[in-house]
Amino acid sequence: MKEYRVKPGSKLDLGEFDPDDTGAYSKNEAAKAKARAATAERIERLRGLQERLYANASRALLIVLQGMDTSGKDGTIRNVMSGVNPQGCRVATFKIPTPLEVAHDFLWRVHREAPPKGHIGIFNRSHYEDVLVPRVHGHIADKQIKQRFEQINEFEELLAESGTAVVKFFLHISKVEQRERLEQRIRDPEKRWKFNEGDLEERKRWGDYTRAFEDVISATSTGHAPWYVVPANRKWYRDLVVAETVVATLEDMKLTCPPPPKGIDFDRLKIT
């Protein structure tokens, strides 16, 4: 998955990443089935790794999901995290700040949702909304944007130094794919609840959002909190890339099963 990782200090050009990429897999049904089997194997590994994370309660994992509208943030959570124990996993989303949240610094509401040790936290949209939407709509000055980049890096560094691994995914779809997904939401009665007319207005700002994402990812992909640009036109490949990266991140923690309680002779213990 290293080819999708944005190197710290590099200048991101999303045009260099193919949203229709499927890596070593072709796009036929046999390859798709093989990729889904690989994803299922990663999900099973994730189940065991989460158990160790929860049992040790010494580390945490924060997964950040960002992308254009319809890029598949909900689907990624539903599919990749399907095997984890809900008791040790929590999803948070960040929409328009409330009056109470506006009265604090922009990271106040975010820090409260950071996962405690032993848990996996997922941000479905995140603190990055506060350097994307205001910029695209012209509600914030460039100087303040750069200041927020620095504050985000410092915030994520604090999390990392406190034992939370941070991994961030930009789900990369094409403008054509977005149109097809929006049209599907309109046609399908089961998905119409997701449709928001405001999405069509935001779509008109595709170029502005692309440049904003390129700048923010370039400025905030660090060694302790890397960004991955995930090809997301093909949902089955998107899920594989995310699952593989999450599993690798947890494996890097090298967590072992905690020792049993002291003072108990398990060889002689009898339960009646």
Task: Say what the pTM is.
Answer: 0.94
Element (H, E) at 113: none
68-82 pLDDT tens trace: 999 999 999 999 999
- Round to whole Å and give the CA distance between 142 and 134: 10
Inform me whether the pLDDT recorded for 272 exceeds 80: no
Query: Which position has the higher pLDDT, 93 or 261?
Result: 93
Residue 36: predicted pLDDT: 96
Q: Which helix (H) or strand (E) holds 53?
A: helix 29-56
pLDDT of residue 96: 87
Give the whole-angstrom CA distance, residue 56 versus residue 256: 8
User: Residue 95 above 90 pLDDT?
Assistant: no
Tokens of 121: 């936290």
43 vs 95: which has the higher pLDDT: 43
Q: What's the whole-number average pLDDT of the chain?
A: 95
262 falls in which pLDDT band (50, 70, 90)?
confident
Query: Exposed e or buried b for every residue in 7-17, given b needs 16+ CB within 10 A?
Result: eeeeebeeeeb
Confidence check: pLDDT of 2 > 90: no
Give the pLDDT confidence of 175-209 residue by residue, as tens digits. 999 999 999 999 999 989 988 888 899 999 999 99
Q: Report the percent of the chain where pLDDT is more than 70.
A: 100
pLDDT band at 94 (very low <50, low <70, confident <90, very high): very high
- Alpha-helix runs per DSSP H in 97-170: 99-102, 108-111, 133-136, 142-161
Distance CA 50, CA 42 (A): 12
264 pLDDT above the threshold of 90: no
State how far the Cα of 247 lies from the Cα of 270, in Å rounded to an integer. 38
Q: Which residues pair with 120 in a beta bridge?
A: 61, 89
Using DSSP's 3-state secondary structure scheme, residue 121 falls into strand
Give the model's pLDDT for residue 145. 95
pLDDT value of residue 196: 86
The pLDDT tens digits for 123-159 are: 999 999 999 999 999 999 999 999 999 999 999 999 9
Strand-pair partners of 61: 120, 165
What's the pLDDT band for 257 if we cut at 50, 70, 90? confident
In the chain, beta strands by DSSP E: 60-67, 89-93, 120-124, 164-172, 227-231
- The DSSP 8-state label assigned to residue 5 in this structure reads B
Q: Which domains does the chain have, with CATH numbers?
A: 2-252 (3.40.50.300)
Tens-place pLDDT, residues 149-167 = 999 999 999 999 999 999 9
